[in-house]
Structure 1
Amino acid sequence: MTADSDGVSQVAIVLGTRPEIIKCAPLIKACDRRGVDCLLVHTGQHYSEDLDQVFFDQLELPTPDYNLEVGSRSHGEQTGRMLEGIEDVLDEHVPDVVLVQGDTNSTLAGALAAAKSNIDVGHVEAGLRSFDREMPEETNRVVTDHISDYLFPPTEETKGYLERESVSGEIVVAGNTVVDSLYEYRDLATEKSQILSTLGLTEDDFYLLTAHRAENVDDRDSFAQLLDGVSRFAAQTDREVVYPIHPRAQSRLDEFGLTLPEEIRTVEPLDFLDFLRLEAAASLVFTDSGGVQEETCILGTPCVTLRYTTERPETAYVGANCLAGLDPDDVVEAASTMLGKHADWDVPFGDGHAAERILDTLAAGAEPETAEVPK
């Protein structure tokens, strides 16, 4: 880091999925602005060109120093291969701190590899809890939080979860780096993306759907319920649903022999700017993604979450999101509540300066009282 960095000279960032690329982009750029040596390790958890390299290109990020190319495997095998590869990188470079983001297998592997190598771990977006241990991500979050030296929860609520669990690391409410990214790129998406004309869509006259979680798409009945509820509301309101379909979800549709209702149109996975434009232009978003719950809240688009639990309850507290579950009647009711809602809520995830706050904390040796998020 710079001369006033208290001896920190190199930061390693471990990532592996689309959301991590988006949320780590501000950290990578902040390192560059400060002259910090940033070692970028990509696990290859997302291995599709559509879900990976295009995001580096559009966000103008450097090519990772390492790509482990682990790809899709069982949780245990995937995490184990990542752990082995990351450990080799850390043994060679020995950075001062390893930053991991969120709750993926890449997050857990990066944190474990660093902790076992006696290297400080910083967890960006720490403290999120769905309180549903059937979610693999919940295990990843909890374990990562309890082995981290620096914990950067996005909100006071997530800080409270960490304090109640008596984690040993320093806790600093930093805000969420996704706010940094969306504030930087939303105008660019409006200016450059042609996705609305390409798909023949009119702003505020369509719905957007994302569904990819294993508990939703790997079970035939759950997937069918989800699609039924969304399509039923679309039919009632005479609007089309655009569904950028994850390859895994498409394979399940084919495997289960499910026919999509006519109200739902699938499209190929989208790049960052196109998806951001659709999120901002949709009149309503249906999702099972935690990241999309955050993004729609920031962009001012009402959201219906197709899950029974969420680790982003702040989005519901401010009125931007409604937890619906999968029952078609409940989905329709939730969508009826959210449609047309004015985006007059406060964004609960900070002011768009989370990355700078995180690096300030590392430079200062983690002094929480100096890094409060402005209200």
Structure 2
Amino acid sequence: MNAATFFDGEGWREGIVELIDGRMLLRDERPAPGAPRLDGVVIGGFTDHHVHLQLVDHTLLGSSTLGRVVDLGANPEAIAALAAARFVSVAGAPSLNERGIDDADARSLSERSETTRAPRVAIDFAGAFLTPVGGYPSDRDWAPAGSFREIADAETAHAAVTEMADAGASVIKVASNADAGPVFADDLFRAIVDAASGRGLPVVTHAQGSGEAQRVARLGATRQAHAPFTERLDDSEIAAQAASVAWISTLSIHDGDTLATAVDNVRRFHAAGGTVLYGTDMGNGPTPVGLNPAELDALRDAGIDGDDLLRSLAPQDPRDPASVLLHLADVTATPSSARPLTPADLKV
């Protein structure tokens, strides 16, 4: 039993970390005077708020420092099977076949997971992209079968939202990419928001094209899947978004002027009190299946560092027995230096 400093998601606290039945556990309990102290600090597994698990080797997640991911566009049947199992990396684990459906059912996968000691990665998901007929990403070769639904009217919008909610979605993903095809008219976008609200689900939107980031926020989206990058928002637009919408960063998928625009928007959004969430669009090109140092660097360039950077990573509560426990050298250490906490770290 060792005294330990840990991050609870908002700030630093004191507790006790110990090895029980082969597992490292942390308790929110004041250490006894003179108790040995863990060198370094403890934090829960990090969150990537924008991934596409059908586009990467998702079996690598179990060896990463991520404790939770949010999939924002996948075949709902396939991603629900992984989420139900709280997928971990194990030798011989089933992969998604070319149709995007697991060869083994979710129960079998879950039973295999229970037999491992590997860190678990919680998977939240949106299910399929909701897009207008002919809209993004319906014409993209990378979009797996079943990963989008083309919405023609309010009736099909309601049916699609119902399908995703029934599959277990925690958010609804809407495509609003005016640079790559049609986007929803205002009334149909609102119909999707209303249907999602009726199931208690927020709407996260891929907004791209002139004015789209502002439009989707005005129509009821509460999360931008990408920090706005098409154009520089003025300060009044930044203030309005900071009051009502969270931004998922995904800065490192950009370069050149587009990156500069996105970083400038994020810097001012953060300064205005807006909520910035770490997200990488994992699967968009050769991105790491794990924490992405390039994304962390871009967030620092936007003025987000220290405890603010940790909050953007939304680490799991380390007091939760199901959470991944990570070790950092000290409270000022970069998240990319985190590693799994092991029994060898305890002083006995």
**TM-score of Structure 1 vs Structure 2, range by shorter chain:** 0.3 to 0.5
Larger RCO: Structure 1 or Structure 2 (Cα < 8 Å, ≥ 6 residues apart)? 2
Instruction: Identify, as 1 or 2, the structure richer in helix.
Output: 1
**Greater strand share, 1 or 2?**
2
Q: TM-score, normalised by structure 2?
A: 0.33
